[in-house]
Amino acid sequence: MSEQNPYGSPAQPYGAPPPAQPQAFGPPQPPAYGAPPQPYGAVPPQGGPQPYPAGAGYPGYAPQPQRKSRKGLWVVLGCVGGALLLGGGLLGYFVYDTASKTGTHKVVLPATFKGMSSDPDEPTAKQLSESMDSAFSQGNSAWTPTESVSSIYRTDTGTEAVVVAGAWGNVVLPSTQVDAVFKGAATEGTISNRKDVDPGPLGGRMSCAEGSNLGQKFGFCAWADGSTVMMVMEVKQGATTIDVDKVASDARELRQTAEVPK
């Protein structure tokens, strides 16, 4: 006769994984652009000793919450990286010839947007900023932008984010500039249903589209005028559809707040 466990069902063996937890855009340090994701089952660094996993046969320990994933945000940042690596495309249209209608405005991104806040010291935001500085510092002083800007806005729950990146200076051929941004973004994902939209009272050209990469959908807009070249990406965890008109409206709203006279 086999022995019976007096406490009910048998305990799980050592090392049994805890139940899966919902994922959101959380605080772990993301990999650098282009770095491959961790293989299935890989365990991220935990930063110190941890209690025995739940179900390991030691009562009294609550399961540890799973670290939040930023897969959706990494996907969007990859498209930012693609837009930055345009060689003679994006960077080549910044000049210092001080033409009468260029270089009149600058970009000052707000601390909050649409109820979402940004933290410039957060690891993902710092990585984006450093990548921007690196990309725009290449080349010679004849076409280096005055300043690059970037920010990542998130909801309190961490399931939605708006990524903003670009530069300001003296820009020529702004319409061509928008095409260059979309061409670069398409190297890191699929861009579809693109259309030109009303750029708002600041003029120039604005174009918006749907984006998708590794199963994550996002909204994508870019604008350019004589002073600025900017891109805006909206991502929501698990999104199945993208309202391009809403993304365009949000981009116009952000632009009117952030693009100010020098």
Extents of the domains making up the chain: 71-261
pLDDT at 112 over 90: yes
Is the pLDDT at 114 greater than 90? The verdict is yes
- Over residues 204-219, the mean pLDDT reads 91
pTM greater than 0.85: no
Using pLDDT thresholds of 50, 70 and 90, give the confidence band for residue 107. very high
Residue 248 pLDDT more than 80?
Answer: yes
Contact 234, 245 (CB under 8 A): no
Q: What percent of the chain has pLDDT over 90?
A: 29
Rounded-to-integer distance, Cα 213 and Cα 220, Å: 12
- What digits encode the pLDDT tens for the residues 120-179? 877 877 777 787 777 666 654 444 578 888 898 999 888 898 999 888 988 888 888 899
Q: What pLDDT is recorded for position 104?
A: 92
Kind plus residue range of the DSSP H or E element containing 143:
none
Torsion sign (Cα): 212, 216, 219, 223:
negative
Residue 200, phi-psi category: left (phi > 0), alpha (psi -120 to 50), beta (remainder): left
Distance, in Å, from the CA atom of 204 to the CA atom of 221, rounded to the nearest integer, reads: 13
The pLDDT, as a whole number, for residue 111 is 95
211: Cβ contacts below 8 Å, ≥ 6 apart:
76, 79, 185, 189, 190, 191, 192, 217, 218, 219, 220, 233, 242
Beta-carbon contacts of residue 43 (< 8 Å; ≥ 6 apart): none
Most confident of 12-26, 202-216, 247-261: 247-261
The CA R_g of the chain, rounded to the nearest whole Å, is 23
Nearest Cα neighbor of 209 from 197, 227, 224 is 197
Q: Given pLDDT bands bounded at 50, 70 and 90, which one contains residue 62?
A: very low
Beta partners for residue 167, in sequence order: 148, 229
Q: Is residue 158 exposed (0-12), middle (13-18) or buried (19+ Cβ within 10 Å)?
A: middle
CATH fold for the domain made of 71-261:
Protein Transport Mog1p; Chain A (3.40.1000)
Least confident of 1-15, 44-58, 181-195, 245-259: 44-58
